[in-house]
Homo-oligomer: A and B are copies of this chain.
Amino acid sequence: MTYQTAVAGQFETRRRPVEPAVAMRHMSTTSVSPLDRLGVRIVVARNKAVIEGGDPADHVFKVVSGALRMVRLLPDGRRHLSSFLMPDDFFGLADSDAYSQSVEAVSEATLMRYPRHRFEALLNSDASVSHRFLDVVCGQLAATQERLLVLGRMTATERLVTFLLGMADRKSRTAPEVELPMSRADIADYLGLTIETVSRGLTDLRSRRIIDLPTPNHIVFLKRQALEQISAGNA
């Protein structure tokens, strides 16, 4: 897991790194390899939609590199992000008929795209594959239920801290910092807040010397334990 970060570092002065670490990790993931033969690799530009809510749900996807957002809109324009999708995440599984939400690239992203009918056929033919995907979706369900608690019962600061730790944990369980690929607007719509409240929350955490903000998207954890406490919901 830290491997990916380290290798990415070797390429950071190049213009467009080809993300070899991800590709290698992908190849070494043997448990879903029957699936790999069914898919094609696609690239999505920043802020472009991979799927639009309402489209027929013809494909299932896996993130290879980059970051994406699952977006839902209310008729009057209110926006909500169900999740951020990162390398190795699957999406498009939960919708059988039409997609219930859009998926857009936060940063340029590479995906594997699998035709749903072939995906379904694989599930029907191989119990170990469908059992594995049951685990994948169960994990997504548990994470989504966790988020329900965050949106339903946590304060702005608690939501923000939970989000920061969650993003950091995707790289490493003890990472001392995160680089956020998404804007304040995305964070706000993910946490059910406004961009102003997100900004104020970060400013407040910085003034309390709990985090540092060298740039708006680079968060350094100065007191991880304090963050863990806040995220755990100790009033």
Q: What is A's interface to B at a CB cutoff of 8 Å?
A: 70, 72, 74-76, 78-80, 82, 93-96, 100-101, 120, 123-131, 133-135, 137-142, 144-149, 151-154, 189, 191-192, 232-235
| Number of identical monomers bound together in the oligomeric complex | 2
A80 proximity list for chain B (CB < 8 A): 148-149, 152-153
In the assembled complex, 17 residue pairs joining A and B whose CB atoms fall closer than 8 Å, in A order, are: A72-B149, A74-B233, A80-B148, A82-B145, A82-B148, A82-B149, A94-B139, A95-B142, A120-B131, A123-B131, A134-B134, A137-B137, A140-B141, A141-B144, A144-B144, A144-B145, A148-B151
A125 proximity list for chain B (CB < 8 A): 127
Q: A138-B96, A192-B151 are in contact. Are A234 and B145 (CB under 8 A)?
A: no
A128 touching B124 by the CB < 8 A rule? yes
B145 touching A101 by the CB < 8 A rule? yes
